[in-house]
Chains A and B, each alone.
Chain A
Amino acid sequence: MKKGLKFDFTLIAILLIPIGVAINVVISQLVQVLRIPLYLDAIGTMLVAMIAGPWVGLVTGGLTNVIKSIFSPTELPFAIVSMVIGLTVGYFSIKKMFTSVGKTIIAGVILTFIVIIVSTPISVILFGGSTGDSSSAVRAIFLASGQGIWKSVFSSNLLIESIDKILSLLITYTIVKKMSDRYLSKHNYGQNFLDS
Chain B
Amino acid sequence: MKEKSNNLLLDLYPSTKFLITLFIIITVFIVKGYLYGYLMVPLCLLLALYAKVFKELLGLLIKTLLVLITFIFLIQSFFYPGDTILWSWSFLSLRQEGIDFSLLLTSRIGAIGSALLLFFRITSVKDIVYSLEQLGLPSKVTYVVLSTLTIIPEMKKLSMTIMDAQKTRGVETEGNLRVRAKAFLPTLTPLILTSVASTEERAITLEARAFTAPVKKTSLYRIEKTKKDTVVRILLLLLLIVIIVWRVAL
Contacts and interface: CB of A to CB of B under 8 A. Distances in A.
Given A11-B207, A74-B68, A19 B196 contact: yes
Interface string A4-26: 00000101101111110111011
Given A26-B191, A73-B113, A74-B113, A130 B148 contact: no
A70 to B, nearest CB: 5
A59 B195 CA distance: 19
A35 B126 CA distance: 34
Contact of B72 (A11, A43, A76, A130): A130
Given A34-B181, A128-B76, A175-B189, A12 B144 contact: no
B192 A23 contact: yes
A72 interface: yes
B75 interface: yes
Interface of B: 60, 63-65, 67-68, 70-72, 74-76, 78-80, 91-92, 101-102, 105, 109, 112-113, 116-117, 120, 125, 140, 143-145, 147-149, 151-152, 154-156, 159, 163, 173, 177, 180-181, 183-185, 187-189, 191-193, 195-200, 202-203, 206-207, 211-212
22 contacts: A11-B206, A14-B144, A15-B199, A22-B195, A30-B187, A30-B188, A36-B181, A67-B148, A71-B64, A72-B60, A73-B113, A127-B105, A128-B101, A128-B102, A130-B74, A136-B71, A136-B75, A144-B91, A149-B79, A149-B80, A171-B188, A179-B193
